[in-house]
Structure 1
């Protein structure tokens, strides 16, 4: 795990690509006109609260949205990017693996309309997915083979 995930760096929030075998867990955003990207597919995660580290933010958001305890050892890749909502600030993108059993234990929270597994190849090509998240997952996939 990258050391900065436990640092008090200045960042806006964290998004996580939760991989279940060759699929990715996606969440359909609420269809509300007052939020960015209404009714689009995205990844779990959200904004930093207080002085959270990126890891603390990630673990809190995954718990709030999915009822899952995400362990540090589940994290397989991370990178710092410009924030999607504020280009002058930073955000963290994480890739983690969860098991099929963990996926089946999800207790979906009150943010978003639904969640599902989508083949990784479909996610990076699909319409209706937040494009910046597609690009960030592509960065992780460089040099890796994926099957559709």
Structure 2
């Protein structure tokens, strides 16, 4: 399976965990609100990639069973996987920002989707997930 990376819409209680990207001119979407995830390493599966990146970026160790929804889509650098997971609000205590990003924050998912500094294609995938019957809107 060929893919370039994976991202995670990670809900802690009703809110989405977002990371403010570094403000560097040589990265895509500098200073924008990002989601945990990143590029594939070696022969990783999409699930292994997104779980590793989430642990590196925000210190949370999830399992594949935590991933409740996924979709793949095409970007200029290849196929990207987008996942969703829901953890209890108490997981906030375990969040630790890794080496990338300026800060993390919790944001209502609708606010993220409409935010001028949301990464546009991640906001689009998040909207797709929230429009599905499986989305637990009453958390």
**What residue is the counterpart of 1:90 in the other structure?**
79
Match of 2:69 among 57, 62, 77: 77
- Tell me the distance in 1 between the aligned counterparts of 2:110 and 2:51: 26
Task: Give 5+ residue unaligned stretches, structure 2.
Answer: none
After TM superposition, list the pairs within 5 Å mapping 1:9-48 onto structure 2: 9-48=1-40
Taking structure 1 as the reference length, the TM-score comes to 0.86
Deviation of 1:132 (Å): 0.5
C-alpha contact 2:12 2:90 (8 A) present in aligned 1: no
Number of equivalences: 136
Taking structure 2 as the reference length, the TM-score comes to 0.91
- Tell me the distance in 1 between the aligned counterparts of 2:88 and 2:64: 14
State the 4+ residue runs in structure 1 displaced beyond 2 angstroms: 143-147
- Tell me the distance in 2 between the aligned counterparts of 1:12 and 1:139: 21
CA RMSD of aligned residues (A): 1.5
Match of 1:109 among 98, 101, 117: 98
Q: For 1:61, what is the secondary structure of its paired residue?
A: helix
- Tell me the distance in 2 between the aligned counterparts of 1:121 and 1:139: 12
Task: Give 5+ residue unaligned stretches, structure 1.
Answer: 1-8
